[in-house]
Structure 1
Amino acid sequence: MKTLTINLPENFEKEKVLLSIAGQLYQQGALSAKQATDLAGVTMNEFVYSTLADDDPLKSMISNPDDKNLSFEDRIEKLKTKQGYKGLNKEKLEALRDAIDIQEPLEVLLSQLTK
């Protein structure tokens, strides 16, 4: 393994530079994903997130590394807000249930799911 020394200006963040270098080396095939994460000192999630373009739809499906300090409940609430989730409308659901008027026994309906 070779050693490279880079003198960075004070306004550069070492972590971001390492992540950028690791991403470039990974994209060129010079490093495996594991080697790139080790070089950058980040998790695989953080590495993958950083290599995706801002408009890549996959980026919205991966947890933003900035959210790593959020609790599970806070992450769920953030997702609900982002997706505009309003919850179930119990009255509307019950009205729909009554409107379709299912006559078959539950066992018959369940057996149809496995066909």
Structure 2
Amino acid sequence: MKTLTIRIPEEFEKKKVLLSIAGQLYLQGALTSSQATDLASVDMNELLYSSLADDDPLKELIKPDNHYKSTGEWVDKLIKEQNYNGLSKQRMETLRDNIDIQEPLDLLLSQLEK
């Protein structure tokens, strides 16, 4: 691994500079998410938040006061908030039985690739 030394003016906050650099390198694919968060000493939520444009609607969902220990914790919160009960197997089977698909499976799958 190479070492890079950057001298920044006193008026810049080291954390913000590192966060900006790490975010850009992550978005360009030069760093993994783990490497980027280690470089900036932040969690993934903060790294993504800082990388988004100010008008991106995703920013509202991941704003810094919404820290979760894991994606699973965040999903569990959304499930609870939205009163999501999952798919009903019986409903899906009824839909499947009522759909009259005439096309061969190969044709249907090829249409997914377009």
| Structure showing greater Rg | 1
Instruction: State whether TM-score is above 0.5.
Output: yes
User: How far does the alpha carbon of each residue in 1:26-65 deviate from its partner, in whole angstroms, 9 at most, with x for none?
Assistant: 1221101111111000001101111111111111111x22
Corresponding residue of 2:8: 8
- For residue 12 of structure 1, give the secondary structure of its aligned residue in structure 2: coil
1:27 aligns with 2:27: yes
What amino acid does structure 1 have at the position aligned with 2:49?
Y
Question: How does the TM-score come out when normalised to structure 1?
Answer: 0.55
Unaligned runs of 5+ in 1: 70-113
Shift, 1:23, TM fit: 1.0
Unaligned runs of 5+ in 2: 68-89, 92-114
1:48 aligns with 2:28: no
RMSD over equivalenced CA pairs, Å: 2.0
User: How far does the alpha carbon of each residue in 1:1-27 deviate from its partner, in whole angstroms, 9 at most, with x for none?
Assistant: 111111111100000000011011112
* Paired residues for 1:1-115 under 5 Å: 1-62=1-62, 64-65=63-64, 67=65, 114-115=90-91
- CA–CA separation in structure 2 for the residues paired with 1:23 and 1:36: 7
Q: For this pair of structures, how many residues does the alignment match?
A: 70
- CA–CA separation in structure 2 for the residues paired with 1:46 and 1:3: 24
Corresponding residue of 1:101: none
- CA–CA separation in structure 2 for the residues paired with 1:42 and 1:5: 20
Identity of aligned residues (%): 71
| Runs of 4+ off more than 4 Å | none
